[in-house]
Amino acid sequence: MSIVKVKVGEVILGDGVIKVQSMTKTPTSDVSGVLAEIEELKKEGCEIVRVGIPSEKEVYNFKKIVEKSTLPVVADIHFNYEIAIKAMEYGAQKIRINPGNLGGEEKFKKVLEVAKYYDVPVRIGVNAGSISLDILERNNYNFAEAMVESALKWVRFAEREKFYNIVVSVKHSDVHETVKAYRLLSGVIPYPLHVGITEAGPPPEGIYKSVIGIGSLLIDGIGDTIRVSLTGSSVEEVRVAYQILESLGLRLRHIQIISCPMCARKRVDVEKLVNEFRDKIRRSNLENIPLKVAIMGCEVNGPGEARQADIGIAPGLKYSLLFKKGKIIKKVPNDKAIDFLIEEIKKWKN
């Protein structure tokens, strides 16, 4: 958790709750398409959305998007500092730039002046592909160290300009380099960190890389907002982001299933039971309850595991034990166990 809190619209970065963000993939020229994508992202739980402004003529489309967006919008700009300034004038709630490719310190300074005027936070987003040659050489081509040096250079520059409304990222497509860079940076600066693996690739490989990279950092307590970058849909990025957070117990929004890997001792077909359970909670609209539900295969480990969950079943030869918060509440026939479980979850909801 950072020391400085940064406000992106009404969303706070650095308050201890990791925020989920994504980036639209619809061309910015297709304003209604981008807005529809933003609505889809919002439905999935996305809290901040980033929109790329690839050229000057897209700034007007960006303006229309910001005006109608129901999520805070971050303008993503490369190379052209004038676009960054325009985006802020047009209502961007945050901008993401890489000061290294903006065309020099003077231009970055102008961006900071406008950001200060409009009270817009700036993400200093350094990534491996844009580190200057001198920094790379000084760091013997160690990308993590070079990214950190580059980020610190611009952070210190902003601070000299008395600008502190900063978020920082140091992303690489390599998991090791990314994790190392954030670990080096964390604790050195007080600003919120935007964490992710850049260009992680298509699913499922990109998902594994993101889970390992982002997950490792979150376990260390590093990161205030996360973005999963996939060669795939932005909605999937948000789903994966929440799966990472839920797996770490950081933001529980859905039912989490604890189920055993089914060894030779199993009394029931656990896979079938889990599928039946999933189907039934989906049909009854019970998925979005932050509960840990255990579905085990036998009485050897089953009761123990089920006891640690909020609710769960552990089957015997004919009957299953239904546990709630560590207490046996019912003994039910195996073939009715899922239905009893669902009934208990419904009571929980009400």
C-beta of 94 vs 267, nearer to ligand SF4: 267
Nearer to ligand SF4, 148 or 295 (CB): 295
226-258: burial string, b at 16+ Cβ within 10 Å, e else: bbbbbebbbbbbbbbbbbbbbeeebbeebbbbe
Instruction: Name the residue whose CB lies closest to ligand SF4.
Output: 297
Q: Minimum distance between the CB of residue 317 and ligand SF4, rounded to whole angstroms? A: 13
Which candidate, 281, 284, 311, 282, places its Cα nearest to that of 296?
Answer: 311
How far, rounded to the nearest angstrom, does the alpha carbon of residue 147 sit from its chain's CA centroid?
21
Helix (H, G, I), strand (E, B) or coil at 323: strand
- DSSP designation for 83: H
Is residue 204 reached through a cis peptide bond, with omega within 30 degrees of 0 on the bond before it? yes
In the bound state with ligand SF4, the residue whose beta carbon lies nearer, of 53 and 296, is 296
Residue among 151 and 298 whose Cβ is closer to ligand SF4: 298
Q: At what angle do helices 205-219 and 175-185 cross, to 10 degrees?
A: 20
Q: Give me the least distance between CB of 258 and ligand SF4, in Å please.
A: 10
CA–CA gap between residue 303 and residue 5 (Å, rounded): 44
Contact predicate 147/174, CB 8 Å: no
Nearer to ligand SF4, 71 or 260 (CB): 260
Return phi, psi of residue 327, to 5°: -110, 140
Closer to ligand SF4 by Cβ: residue 52 or 297 = 297
CB of 270 vs ligand SF4, minimal distance in Å: 6
Nearer to ligand SF4, 239 or 267 (CB): 267
Q: How far is the CB of 275 from ligand SF4 (least distance, A)?
A: 16
Q: Least distance to ligand SF4 from the beta carbon of 301, Å? A: 4
For the CB of residue 231, give the shortest distance to ligand SF4 in the complex, in Å: 36
Q: Identify the three-state secondary structure at position 132.
A: coil
Interface with ligand SF4 (CB under 6 A)? 260-263, 265-266, 296-298, 300-302
Write the Ramachandran bin of 219: left for phi over 0, alpha for psi from -120 to 50, otherwise beta: alpha
Min CB(202)–ligand SF4 separation in Å: 33
* Minimum CB–partner distance for residue 325 and ligand SF4 (Å): 20
Q: What count of Cα atoms within 13 Å lies in the side-chain half-sphere of residue 146?
A: 20
Is the Cβ of residue 1 or residue 274 nearer to ligand SF4 in the bound state?
274
Question: What are the structure tokens assigned to 191, written together?
Answer: 């600003």
Residue with tokens 């390992």: 212
List the one residue out of 22, 23, 25, 8 whose CA is nearest residue 242: 22
